[in-house]
Copies of this chain bind each other. A is one copy, B any other.
Amino acid sequence: MPAPTLISLDAMGGDHGPPVVVGGIRDYTRRHGGEGVRFLLHGDEQAIVAELAKHNLTSDICDIRHTATKVASDEKPATAMRRGKGTSLWNAIEAVKSGEAGAVVSAGNTGALMAISKLILRMSAPGLERPAIVASWPTARGVTAVLDVGANIESDAEQLVEFAIMGEAFHTAVHGVEKPTIGLLNVGSEDMKGHEEVREAARILREGGLGLNYHGFVEGDDIAKGTVDVVVTDGFTGNIALKTAEGVARFISTLLREALTSSLQAKIGAAIAMPALKAMGQKIDPSAINGGPLLGLNGIVVKSHGGADAKGFGNAIRIAVDLARSDYMQTVGANLGRLGDVMHAPSTQSESVS
């Protein structure tokens, strides 16, 4: 029997801390079974013990590592970094660095998680200044992975290709799609469209050598259409596209809720249509897609939304388990090496930007 996959958890992160983190473990085991997985919870022992008891989770599946402090949600990343060892966030990541855990999940402060992950684990993608974040979008054809939605503000062609490499391996590991199609986000589908970085990245992806299933340029509306499995863009555009989409979805949901409660007649109609509306809501349930891995690090780090509920945190755990059990790290490592050859810059292959 193989050793169980150990997932390190920042039990104090997010808006809710231990109740959602432990609830997430319960949700994960209920959906996927607890076989072959163990959890290492970093945080306030007393609070964690109380939550584990509520959910009948025992030391068979959960270990606790007490930490007296945590990183606040509004704490500056630099401050959190300077505090060093001892916060639940820091110690949770360190369990990956030491090789004890196969992945870490945190719903904590994104900036601090990025900075401390980078400090402890170091970047594996030579072109990246900081980790890329993947968002999973519900689409007409399933789920599309969009990256970077984090903050690699100015992405050159090499970075965009690195995103493609990591996005492909992520999609295969987590969504089970072999050879997912990859599109580069642009303002048109013609070859001469867009700025130089995008056109140069397209050239590298088109000419192959990386074995990726490159589809071509895609436009903003192709994301929700599910035209491709993986949409690659710079961290500025990706972040704005993601937040714009979230804003639009929230706006329409609010209008719908208001409409369906605007009169007695509307309420009656809504009550009758409720099973269908609920089924629809599940297709765009944020909990079902929660969990954005930070890619480009020497180790697997998954960010849960700070406001996620137990179901959402459970999904972030699922993504961490899938990545930890897959050959994601090896595939990415091999392809990043190949990219070094393609870029005719072999000296950058083993360079670690820190």
Q: Which residues of A contact B (CB under 8 A)?
A: 139-140, 151, 153-154, 185-188, 194-195, 219-225, 233, 235-237, 239-252, 254-256, 258-260, 262-263, 265-266, 268-277, 279-280, 283-284
Contact = CB atoms under 8 A, between A and B. Distances in A.
B284 A255 contact: yes
Contact of A252 (B225, B247, B284): B284
Contacts of A252: 249, 252, 284
B187 A240 contact: yes
29 contacts: A153-B194, A154-B195, A185-B240, A195-B236, A220-B240, A220-B241, A221-B244, A222-B247, A224-B244, A224-B248, A224-B250, A225-B247, A225-B251, A245-B248, A248-B248, A259-B277, A260-B277, A262-B276, A262-B279, A263-B276, A265-B272, A265-B276, A268-B272, A268-B273, A269-B269, A269-B271, A269-B274, A269-B276, A272-B272
Q: How many copies does the complex hold?
A: 2
A77 to B, nearest CB: 12
B269 A194 contact: no
Nearest to A257: B280
The CB with the most chain B CB atoms within 10 A, among A236, A244, A280, is that of: A244
Contacts of A275: 263, 265-266
Contacts of A255: 280, 283-284
Nearest to A235: B187
